[in-house]
Amino acid sequence: MRDRSLPLISVSGDAYTRGVRHGSQAKGLIQENISYYLHLWKVYSKMDRGLVLDQARRFIPAIEGYNSEIMEEIRGIADGAGVSLEEVVALNSRYEFIWSKMAVEHGRAGGCTSIAVAPDATSNGHTLIGQNWDYKPQLSGRCIILDIAQDGGPNIVTHVEAGTVAKMGLNSEGIGLCINALVSDRDRFAPKTPILAICRGILNSRSLSDAIGAVISAERSVSANFLIAHGEGEIIDLEITPEDVGFIYPERGILTHSNHFIDLRGRGIIDRVITICPDTLIRAERAKRLLSSRMGKIDVEALKETLRDHFNWPNSICRHEDSRFHQDLQLKTLASMIMDLNKRTIHISNGPPCENEYKNLETERVS
C-alpha cells in the first residue's frame, strides 16, 4: 500500500478572499488543470480556447444568480492563480462541457460508486457516507482537500480538482455529500447553474431541507446524482435532469448509487450511460449486497472493503484503467472518501484504495 496524502489548503475570510487564498496556494495545479481541459475539449469537442472561454463567460450570470458568493469566490480563485476569470469558470463548468458534449459521443462515460449507511445499520449508530471518485487519470495529482471557514455559513471540507469550489465533502452542520454522473436524452449544453456550484450550494446548507432546496432550486442543463446524508441519521438521494428530480430513500438503512437512473427511469427518460457503460448496473447493487451482509455491524472498515471491491475488474467498484480505450477516455478511481458524519471525520485515499492507504483527516472547522 502506498502512503500518499493530498495537499490540504485552508481558506477563510470573505468569499473573494477565500478564493484568492485558494488560487494563490494551488496556482500551479490550477494552471495544469486549465491546460488539460483545454486540450481535452479541443481534441474531442472541437472547441478551441477562444470558443471555450466564450462559452464559459455565458455561465457567469447563472452562477451569480444561483449564489453570488460562489461567483465571488471564483473571481478570487482566478485572481489568486493569475489566470482569467473565464478559465476558472470553465473549470467549474467542466461537468457541463464533459457530460453534455463528449462523454457519450465518444463512447466513454460512467464512474463513481456512492454509498450511505444509516445509524440502524452501523455498528456504533453513526451515519456513514462515502464514494469512489472515478475520473480521468490525468487529474491524479491535481486535486486538493479544501478546508473552508466561511463568514456567515457552515465550514466545509471538500475534495476538489484545484480551482473548483466543491465536490464530495461534509460541513460543520453534519451534512455529507457524494456525487455521481448521470446522462439523459434531456441533457444539453446551456449556461445554467454548473453541477459543481450546486455541490457548493449543498455544502453551504445548514439543514437537510436547505441542501435539498439547493438542488431543486437550481436551473440545470444536465443530469446528475446527489447522495446527501445528515449526522442525525437521515439520507436521501436526488436524481436530477434538466426538467425533473427523483428521490430515493434507504432500504434497511443502506442506500447506494452509481451512474444509471433508478427513480426517474419510469418517467420516459432515455438513459445514455447504460449502453456504453453497463458496469453501472453492477456496481451499486454489488455495494448494497456487500454491505447488507454485515447489517448492524457496518463500520468504516466495512465501507473500505466495499470500496476496494474488484468484481468485474477493471470496471469494478475500485476502478482501474481499461486497455481497450484511448488514454484520454480512461477512467480510474482517483480518490476514495468515507465520512463519519457524527465524528465529522474523513478517511480518504489518494488513488485506488486497493493500492493507497486511507488517511484520516480531522479538522477543527467541521467538528
Is residue 1 packed enough to be buried (19+ CB in 10 Å), middle (13-18) or exposed (0-12)? exposed
Range of the domain at 327: 108-361
Q: Does 367 reside within a domain?
A: no
Query: Which triple of cell numbers denotes residue 1?
Result: 500500500
**CA-closest candidate to residue 311, choices 349, 282, 275:** 282
- Specify the pLDDT at position 102: 62
Whether 213 and 96 have beta carbons less than 8 Å apart is answered as: no
What distances in angstroms separate CA 27 from CA 33, 289, 343, one per listed residue? 10, 43, 32
Radius of gyration of the chain (CA): 19
Whether residue 18 lies inside any domain: the answer is no
pTM over 0.85: yes
In this structure, what C-alpha cell is assigned to residue 86? 473565464
- Ranges under pLDDT 70 in the chain: 1, 3, 100-110, 367
What is the pLDDT at residue 207? 98
Q: Could you tell me which residues come within 8 angstroms of residue 24 by beta carbon, excluding any fewer than 6 positions away?
A: 80, 81
Check residue 3 and give its pLDDT: 65
Q: Considering its fold, how many domains does the chain have in total?
A: 1
Between the two ends of the chain, the Cα-to-Cα distance in Å is 29
Q: How far apart are CA 167 and CA 199, in angstroms?
A: 6
Answer whether 271's CB lies under 8 Å from 183's CB: yes
As beta bridge partners, residue 49 has none
Residue 1: the pLDDT is 65
CB contact set of 132 (below 8 Å; sequence gap of 6+): 112, 113, 307, 317, 318, 319, 333, 335, 336, 353
- Which CATH number goes with the domain that contains 149? 3.60.60.10
Residue 57 lies in a domain: no
Grid coordinates in use for 275?
449502453
Domain-located, residue 320? yes
Give the pLDDT of residue 107: 56
**Is 11 within a domain?**
no
Alpha helices in the chain (DSSP H): 15-25, 27-45, 49-57, 60-66, 68-81, 85-92, 94-101, 195-203, 208-216, 280-292, 300-307
Q: Which amino acid is at 165?
A: V
**What distances in angstroms separate CA 300 from CA 128, 304, 345, one per listed residue?**
8, 6, 11
Q: Residue 246 domain-assigned?
A: yes
